[in-house]
Amino acid sequence: MAWKEMKKNKVKFLIVGSIVSLISMLTFIISGLADGLSQDNVSLIKNIPEGTFYMSGDSNDSYTQSHIDDQKLEDFKTEDEHSFAFSLQMGALKTQSDNQQSVAFLTATETPLLNTVKSGEVILDRSLKDEGIKIGDRLSSPQSEETFEVVDFIDHQKFNHSPVALIHSKDFNRMFRTKEYQLIYSEETTENMGGLQAFSKSEFLSTIPSYQAEQMTLNMIVWFLVVISGLLFSIFFYMMNVQKIAMYGILKALGIRTADLFQMIWSQMALITMTSLLVAALISQVFQVFAPDTIPYHLSVSTTVQLSVVFFVVGFLGSTLSGLQIKQIEPLQAIQQGEA
Amino acid sequence: MSRLQLEQVRKSFKNGDTEEEVLKGVDVTLEEGEVTALIGASGSGKSTLLTIAAGLQRLSEGRVLFNNQNLAEWKAEQVRKIRAQHFGFVFQSSHLVPFLTVEEQLSIMMDIADRRGIKQEKQKQIKKILDEVGMSHRRTAYPSSLSGGEKQRVAVARAIIHEPSILFADEPTASLDSNRSRETMALIQQVTKTQNMATLIVTHDEQMLNYTDRIVKMSDGKIVS
């Protein structure tokens, strides 16, 4: 009966489905943009597998103030051979045509997660290739007299919304007048590492200035949208069924089981929601493929599935709420209302 | 043979602080193959009596005997099953499901009555009933394209498709003109005989009494003749 109603009232159900699809697509795309911005901010850290980040105890939870001596690094290497140390500093690089680009200078001990680079060389995030920088170009640092030859590009390595410039530790130390690394990363959590502070990946991300504030704002936008969309979903399904209360009452008078009415309500809700969510998910994933690189957009399948489940549950609750009202309606009341 | 017996049925409603008795000990027996008409002025209690007999509302006192079992003592789910399988309903408005074709209206009623059976047999039964009510030519039509008289014919067909023991009709001609009213009443009388049902009909229209076998007149919650 549910399918027959949908077949007869194609336009009505198509409109409801389109609205559900558009609302969910809006949520998917905003979520993709939020996640894209988050990736754009700290993709360097996000691309490192789950593990523990260590800062010195006196760093006040700020990686810029952290300094870890070589001995500590050796201690880590004996515990976990995959651990590595790294340092980050914001700066700039100038092309031969005096075009200046903000970059996040990165240096690290040897690790399979990052390419190796020799002194005088730099590996850049691929976004700088779009700015016209090529392999073999020579870039200089405006704050020192260092020059670097571009030897390679790497994908999705950004920090503080700036492309990463991976340089050798000797160059880094000379430029920023330091001898020690700021951070150690280890796949394992090691207890009592002599005054070092341990942070999980998410804890470390929240110590990065601006990241937490930006994420809180973006998450609030996304969840606010999810709540509004969810409410709209449930109101849609509620209204759709409440309009038919008289008809359900007559069917109850004829002897239909309330369970059959619930089945009808749920199957319509499930069909509309699943089709609409599928269309919305497909369009938002296609948008990911064709979106210009200048738009930071990242919508993972898991985020799409999570949001879809939320919308499905909310739609289910909305239709169940109307079902409960239908359960309470007296057949006699429906007959009398219909004849008034 | 009696199909339904109403014994000393009383029904009271609370109206603020006072209790109003709408039915004051009514006895009615519905016999198979007979159309029983309930007549009386508005507020005499005839519609209340019909809905109690049909299991659509509870009585305050008395007994409703169907197959020697007192429906008044049954749970709502048991009464629903009886309604679905053994009772048929024709209302003042046809109350057809707007998105189902004429034959689908009958098919869904067979499903409700758990008379699913083999598809071919179901189709045969639908064809037979549509022929009986003269609506075979409109079997694929939706309610929106039917006239008032046609809708009531389909409503009668839906009420008898599952071969109920009792047909309840609450002012089935109220929304029809006199010609269509006569046609509908003749149809109800005809199917009552052909299907050997007991029919209880509430009507205001005295001209329709020509199509009934027995007349029960109510006044102020009591049977007066």
- Type of residue numbered A305: V
**How many Å apart are CA B22 and CA B10, to the nearest integer?**
7
Could you give the percent of chain B with pLDDT greater than 90? 72
B166-170 and B198-202 strand pairing: parallel
**pLDDT at residue A130 in the model:** 84
Q: Is residue A254 within 8 angstroms of chain B, CB to CB?
A: yes
**pLDDT at residue A192 in the model:** 65
| Contact (CB, 8 A) for A157 and A164 | yes
Residue B28 — φ and ψ, nearest 5°? -140, 140
| Contact (CB, 8 A) for A303 and A31 | yes
**How many Å apart are CA A18 and CA B40, to the nearest integer?**
53
Q: How many CB pairs under 8 A join A and B?
A: 58
Q: Is residue A9 within 8 angstroms of chain B, CB to CB?
A: yes
Q: Would the CB atoms of A255 and B97 count as touching at under 8 Å?
A: no
**pLDDT at residue A338 in the model:** 55
∠ CA A230-A234-A235, nearest 5°, is 115
Residue for token pair 């198509």: A14
| Contact (CB, 8 A) for A224 and A30 | no
Please name the residue of chain A whose CA is at the shortest distance from the CA of residue B160.
A254
A208 min Cα distance to partner chain B (Å):
60
What is B2-223's CATH topology?
Rossmann fold (3.40.50)
Which among B110, B121, B196 has a CA at the least distance from the CA of B161?
B110
- Type of residue numbered B4: L
**Alpha-helical segments (H) within A140-244:** 169-176, 201-207, 211-242
Please name the residue of chain A whose CA is at the shortest distance from the CA of residue B48.
A332
**pLDDT at residue A340 in the model:** 43
**pLDDT at residue A233 in the model:** 83
Buried b (16+ CB within 10 A) or exposed e, A213-227: ebbeebeeebeebbe
Of residues A327 and B126, which shows the higher confidence score? B126
CB < 8 Å to B152, chain A: none
Residue for token pair 């492309």: A163
Q: Would the CB atoms of B112 and A247 count as touching at under 8 Å?
A: no
Q: Would the CB atoms of B92 and A250 count as touching at under 8 Å?
A: no
Please name the residue of chain B whose CA is at the shortest distance from the CA of residue A335.
B91
- Segment B9-64, tens digit of pLDDT: 999 988 888 888 999 999 999 999 999 999 999 889 999 999 999 999 999 999 99
**How many Å apart are CA B88 and CA A102, to the nearest integer?**
82
Which residues are CB-contacts of A335 (< 8 A; sequence separation ≥ 6)? A249, A250, A253, B56, B91, B95, B170
**pLDDT at residue B19 in the model:** 87
B69-70 and B87-90 strand pairing: unpaired
Residue B162 — φ and ψ, nearest 5°? -95, 15
Q: Would the CB atoms of B170 and A8 count as touching at under 8 Å?
A: no
Domain edges within chain A: 2-42+213-339, 52-188
For an interface test with A, which of B91, B115, B156 has the most A Cβ atoms less than 10 Å from its Cβ?
B91
Domain edges within chain B: 2-223
* Length of chain B (residues): 225
SS3 (DSSP) at A260: helix
B9's tokens? 């049925």
A121-125 and A158-159 strand pairing: unpaired
For an interface test with B, which of A1, A7, A254 has the most B Cβ atoms less than 10 Å from its Cβ?
A254
Which among A205, A274, A255 has a CA at the least distance from the CA of A44?
A205
Please name the residue of chain B whose CA is at the shortest distance from the CA of residue A6.
B99
Q: Is residue A330 within 8 angstroms of chain B, CB to CB?
A: yes
CB < 8 Å to A9, chain B: 99
**Chain centroid to CA A70:** 35
A318 min Cα distance to partner chain B (Å):
23
Of residues B169 and A69, which shows the higher confidence score? B169
Q: Would the CB atoms of B112 and A251 count as touching at under 8 Å?
A: yes
- Give DSSP secondary structure letters for B130-198: HHHHT-GGGTT--GGGS-HHHHHHHHHHHHHTT--SEEEEESTTTTS-HHHHHHHHHHHHHHHHHTT-E
> What are the beta bridge partners of residue B176?
none
pLDDT band of B206, cuts 50, 70, 90 = confident
**pLDDT at residue A226 in the model:** 87
B188: Cα within 13 Å, side-chain hemisphere: 38
Query: Which of A187-191, B36-40, B84-88, B214-218 bottoms out in mean pLDDT, i.e. has the lowest?
Result: A187-191
A295's tokens? 């738009």
B170 min Cα distance to partner chain A (Å):
10
CB < 8 Å to B168, chain A: none
Of the candidates A4, A250, A256, the beta carbon closest to that of B100 is on A4
Rg, Å, chain B Cα set = 17
Q: Is residue A255 within 8 angstroms of chain B, CB to CB?
A: yes
Residue stretches of chain A with pLDDT short of 50: 340
Q: Would the CB atoms of B142 and A1 count as touching at under 8 Å?
A: no
For chain A, the 3-state helix, strand and coil shares in percent, each to the nearest 5, are 55, 20, 25
